[in-house]
């Protein structure tokens, strides 16, 4: 029973599941919402540019119905007339088409946002499968679309009847009006009738949009096991993460050990801690920790130091303080400047003595000046 309950898709889709679905072109879309926005924009554009369009149509009609004597003997008069007609219609039609173009983009991205998927655009064998086609034709989604279509027809027919009944006397009065008022009024009534019909379609869109969101989420719901598997795949299994951490540590350790030969001195505990210090007066304002470690790592640092004849000095308190207060490739804190300065001075004097340029330095002080707040 536990396995069965784990397989039930009761959980909301994760952001990764939604993102993967979007890459495949599976997003919430409402065709009715896009259609309603385009139709309403078309009606609005007709109301906005209707008067300009009516004047253009009237001018074109007068131009084409008028035949001057010069037009009879002019072979290009027909082309000139069509050019005039195009110029008359350019402004109103451009405005109408621009509004419809913007509305088509906005209406189809209101739900689900803008999304383009090459995977969705590519051919799919399932779309050519007759059995899959029958399932789509007689499935739940097809039934919902059929019900919506019936409702749309019923709503549009009902609203059309009410609008025609409301404007019937005004429409009949158009025959008594003179031009261009009759054309302007006809386009005005046509725009409002069209807008009313389009608004009726928006009723279906208001119902369809939430349904499409709900249906999209339902299709992408996940089981608890799927969420666990997704988290495991995205974060990686503990074994894989452990191997990655070990590899990173090994690489970091290798880089650190490569810096030991560049150090000026190694300060030890003497067995448990070891820190390698490098001081370049022209480059650093303070000595920098190029390597540090405890136990086996400390022993390896001392081994490399002995191979490259780097001075190894015992100062347990200072070694612990530097180890716990300073990160790799970072300068030591100001509180340790005095103690480290004595270490570096001793190393410098020791180098000069070995080169025969000075006397043997005095033994390093056991109690170096280390403030209590940096002691460990």
Q: How many structural domains compose the chain?
A: 2
User: Within this chain, do residues 50 and 162 fall inside the same structural domain, yes or no?
Assistant: yes
- Judge if 278 and 357 occupy the same domain: yes
Query: Maximum CA pair distance of the chain?
Result: 126
What mean pLDDT comes out for the span 111-118? Answer: 67
Structural domain contains residue 236: no
Phi-psi region of 331 (alpha: psi -120 to 50; beta: other; left: phi over 0): beta
- Would you state the pLDDT for residue 128? 61
Task: Please write the tens of the pLDDT for every residue from 127-137.
Answer: 566 666 666 66
pLDDT of residue 104: 85
Sorting pLDDT into bands at 50, 70 and 90, what band is 2?
Answer: very low
Per-residue pLDDT, 27: 77
Rounded Cα distance between 266 and 275, Å, is 6
User: Tokens 């033994």 identify what position?
Assistant: 363
At 257-277, the pLDDT tens digits run 888 888 888 888 877 898 988
In a domain, 314, yes or no: yes
Q: Tell me the β-bridge partners of 278.
A: 288
Alpha carbon separation from 20 to 23, 26, 117, 229 (Å, rounded) = 5, 9, 11, 15
Note whether 253 and 171 are same-domain residues.
no
- In a domain? residue 330: yes
The half-sphere exposure of 204 on its side-chain side, counting CA atoms within 13 A, is 26
The CA–CA distances, whole Å, from 355 to 261, 310, 352, 363 equal 20, 15, 5, 18
Q: Is residue 196 located within the same domain as residue 259?
A: no
Residue 277, SS3? Answer: strand
Residue 12 falls within a domain, yes or no? no
Which of 27-31, 115-119, 292-296 has the lowest average pLDDT? 115-119
Tell me: pLDDT of 3 over 70: no
Residues 153, 293 share a domain: no
Residue 196 in any domain: the answer is yes
Last residue of one domain, picked from the residues 219, 235, 266: 219
Do 262 and 113 fall within a single domain? no
Query: Do 202 and 292 belong to one domain?
Result: no
Residue 283 CA to its chain's centroid (Å): 43
Q: What whole-number distance in Å separates Cα of residue 207 and Cα of residue 209?
A: 6
Q: Among residues 125, 190, 128, 136, which one has the least CA distance to residue 164?
A: 190
Q: What is the pLDDT of residue 139?
A: 66
Average of per-residue pLDDT values in the chain: 77
Structure tokens that stand for 176 in this block? 């008594």
Q: What is the pLDDT of residue 73?
A: 60
Residues 329 and 209 in one domain: no
pLDDT of res. 120: 55
CA distance 292 to 307: 17
Q: What percent of the chain has pLDDT over 90?
A: 0
Measuring CA to CA, which residue among 300, 226, 230 is closest to residue 259?
300
What CATH number should be reported for the domain holding residue 305? 3.40.1690.10
Return the structure tokens found at 326. Answer: 């300073």
Report helix, strand or coil for 22.
helix
Same domain, 270 and 337: yes
Q: Are residues 36 and 79 located together in one domain of the fold? A: yes
Q: Are residues 190 and 292 in the same domain?
A: no
For residue 67, tell me if it sits in a domain: yes
Q: Give pLDDT tens digits for 54-106.
A: 788 877 777 776 666 666 666 666 667 677 778 888 888 888 889 889 888 88
Mean per-residue pLDDT for 156-170?
80
In DSSP notation, 240-274 reads HHHHHHHHHHHHHHHHHHHHGGG-SEEEE-SSSEE
For residues 173-179, average pLDDT: 70
In a domain, 156, yes or no: yes
Q: Is residue 225 part of a domain?
A: no
Residue range(s) defining the domain that contains residue 328: 247-374
- Domain end call among 219, 236, 270: 219
Average pLDDT, integer, range 206-223: 81
pLDDT, residue 323, reads 87
Clarify whether residues 306 and 192 are in a common domain: no
Q: Decide which of 204, 219, 234 is a domain's last residue.
A: 219
């Amino acid at each position: 029973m536990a396995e069965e309950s784990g397989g039930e898709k009761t959980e909301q889709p994760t952001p990764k599941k939604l993102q993967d679905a979007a890459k495949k072109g599976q997003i919430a879309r409402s065709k009715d919402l896009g259609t309603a926005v385009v139709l309403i924009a078309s009606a609005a554009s007709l109301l906005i540019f209707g008067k300009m369009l009516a004047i253009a149509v009237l001018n074109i009609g007068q131009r084409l119905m008028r035949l001057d004597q010069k037009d009879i003997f002019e072979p290009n008069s027909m082309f000139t007339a069509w050019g005039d007609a195009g110029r008359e219609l350019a402004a109103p039609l451009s405005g109408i088409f621009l509004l419809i173009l913007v509305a088509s983009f906005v209406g189809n991205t209101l739900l689900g946002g803008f999304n383009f998927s090459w995977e969705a655009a590519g051919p799919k064998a399932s779309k050519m499968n007759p059995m899959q086609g029958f399932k789509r034709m007689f499935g739940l989604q097809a039934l919902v679309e059929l019900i919506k279509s019936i409702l749309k027809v019923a709503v549009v027919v009902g609203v059309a009847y009410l609008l025609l009944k409301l404007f019937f006397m005004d429409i009949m009065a158009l025959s008594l009006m003179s031009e261009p008022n009759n054309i302007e009024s006809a386009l005005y009534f046509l725009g409002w009738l069209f807008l009313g019909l389009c608004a009726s379609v928006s009723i279906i869109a208001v119902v369809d949009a939430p349904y499409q969101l709900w249906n999209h989420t339902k299709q992408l719901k996940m089981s608890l096991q799927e969420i666990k598997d997704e988290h495991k795949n995205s974060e990686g299994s503990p074994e894989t993460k452990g191997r990655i951490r070990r590899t990173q540590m090994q690489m970091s350790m290798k880089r650190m050990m490569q810096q030991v030969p560049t150090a000026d001195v190694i300060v030890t505990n003497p067995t448990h801690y070891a820190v390698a210090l490098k001081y370049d007066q022209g480059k650093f304002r303070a000595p920098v920790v190029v390597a540090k470690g405890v136990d086996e790592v400390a022993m390896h640092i001392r081994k490399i130091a002995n191979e490259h004849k780097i001075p190894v000095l015992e100062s347990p308190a200072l070694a612990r303080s530097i180890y716990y207060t300073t990160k790799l490739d970072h300068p030591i804190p100001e509180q340790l400047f005095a103690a480290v300065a004595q270490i570096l001075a001793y190393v410098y004097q020791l180098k000069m003595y070995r080169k025969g340029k000075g006397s043997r330095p005095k033994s390093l002080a056991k109690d170096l000046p280390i403030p209590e707040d940096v002691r460990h």
